[in-house]
Amino acid sequence: MSSTHVDNASSAATEATETQAGSIHSTPHVLTPIQEQDSSESASVASKEDTHDSTKEDDRYVVVDVKDSNKGDTHDVTKPGAQDADKQDDEDAAKQDGEDAAKQDGKDADEEDPQDAPKQDSQDSNAQAVVVSFHVHSDATFQVLVADVLIKFKVSAQLVATASPVLRTILYGQDVIVPTPNGNWVVDIEAEPKALETLFRIVHYQFQKVPSLLSLDELYELTLLTARFKCVHLIYPWARKWATQFSTYACEDDHFDHCHKVVWIAWELGDEKLFRDMVHAMIISSKVNAEGDLVNASDSPLKDMILPPGILGLVSTTRMSTIGAILAGLNASMLALTVGDREPGTKFCKLGKEERQCEAMLLGSAIQELIKNHLYPVPAANSFLKSISVLKDTLQAMKFMTFVGPDRRPHHTHEHCNPGFRGLAERCVEDMAVALEDPQLKYLQSQAVLSGINAALDVRESRTRTFKTGKTVFKDTWIDSSKKIALRQAKLAQGVSSKDADVSDGEFEWQA
């Protein structure tokens, strides 16, 4: 094989994997037509157990040791927890692949000179192999090396090429070497195995094996692949359901640690509301480390994360401006209490009596609280390294001493007087806008169309069909009786009389 052809194929694949989402992981695809493995290896391949339980890791696969070059035989080793059989269709596919490969290898051994045979890949000779077949007549193999296990996904090249323009370029693009009659397309790829398996299940019409729900990490890895291969349209029937489970993710206790993943998911699926919510979470939770880099709540640098284009800059500038607004308000309150430089009508004593004594008490306790939290003198915004969330919580947790005057009647106390620190942080965060640019908004809108995130997939409970036979026009209206009953019960619950609660067919009509 000439190195020129390999370089051209790799270059074409790399160029095709660039998406509008900006820089994503590099995708070094190496397309190499090689011989199938020895017949003893192919014949000993067992299919994996087909399950999508996220609590089970790789034990659901059956691991097969690669041929021992010294003894010339193979050994089947099943990992603990793996089952011995899969669904019948996967068993047949793996068996058929093994038989075809065995016959082909036997033929090749008679026809080819051993010195001319291609060398085995070094990673194949040292790693255990797992074969997952998606098609009886598979003619392409995508290989993923995870730890010491080489997972081989045997697929139909035509189906894969039809599903993704990027994969089509890898398999059928210009200057890509055509596999020999005795060989097979083999693509070494870096990807999360479960996500790649889910994608190939969809590509090969195995919809019954697609998970009904995905965890955060699983959906994150899957959307990384759909962006990389430009095939988000493949998950159209599931996108809305998968994304809905994260609509309240901002309420989760650990959402600050993983909100960058939800940002990416929302970006790829085109969910604008979820995208804004999670970018907002990134802004208020990000902080600056000792090296001057923005990091999240878990101290992971934002620059090392996979983020949509322009989001890192948006997080940085919005964080700085919001912190600046909070600190400016803090400084204004302290100036008003110390030198009396305040806006007309600004008062910290809510009672309106003994204001000077009350404000003096507030000033003393405020200075103590601010010094304790390293906020006095009030720092500049660019020197404040903590997050907006921490600053807000710090100000809201401050306690101020209450002035007690000679009049101790309950309605004449100063217990509600304060310097306004608590409300200041709250107002600034509420006023903080996630200012998306037009290209970002347009991209989200286009992705929503492709992914079907906003598509109404539910069938209407009632509809009217109009059709014509000759000169006669017919109207055929189908009504769901259970819907009528539910609507009647809802009316009765609202206090409507039994007579008026009757539901007419006209309330359900929908002109097709």
CB neighbourhood size of 338 (10 A): 12
Rounded CA-CA distance 187/437 in Å is 38
CB neighbourhood size of 352 (10 A): 8
DSSP 3-state assignment of 17? coil
* Spatial CA neighbour of 173 closest among 154, 164, 188: 164
User: For the range 477-483, what are the long-range contacts, defined as Cβ-Cβ under 8 Å and sequence gap of 24 or more?
Assistant: 477/505, 477/508, 477/509, 479/505, 479/508, 480/508, 483/508
Amino acid of residue 136: V
Strand partners, 117: none
CA angle 117, 101, 198 (to 5 degrees): 110
Q: What is the 3-state secondary structure (H, E, C) of 428-459?
A: HHHHCCCCCCHHHHHHHHHHHHHHCCCCCCCC
Q: pLDDT 10s per residue in the chain (512 long)? A: 333 343 444 444 444 334 433 433 333 333 333 333 343 333 333 343 343 443 333 433 433 333 333 333 333 333 333 334 344 455 555 555 555 544 444 444 343 343 333 333 434 456 688 999 999 989 999 999 998 899 999 999 999 999 999 999 988 876 565 665 656 788 899 999 999 999 999 999 999 999 999 999 999 999 999 999 999 999 999 999 999 999 888 888 788 999 999 999 999 999 999 999 999 999 999 999 999 999 999 999 999 999 999 999 999 999 999 999 999 999 999 998 888 777 776 777 877 777 888 888 899 999 999 999 999 999 999 999 999 999 999 999 999 888 877 666 666 677 778 898 988 988 999 999 889 999 999 999 999 999 999 875 554 444 555 555 556 655 555 555 556 666 767 777 777 777 677 766 555 444 33
The H helix count followed by the E strand count for the chain is: 17, 11
DSSP 3-state assignment of 473? strand
CB neighbourhood size of 253 (10 A): 6
| 446-to-124, 268, 368, 440 alpha-carbon distances in Å | 42, 10, 53, 10
Rounded CA-CA distance 332/419 in Å is 10
Strand partners, 34: 184
If you search the block for the tokens 């660039």, which residue do you land on? 18
Rounded CA-CA distance 332/341 in Å is 8
- Structure tokens that stand for 449 in this block: 């169309």
The C-alpha torsion from 248 through 56 and 28 to 234, rounded to 10°, is -50
- Structure tokens that stand for 313 in this block: 């800059």
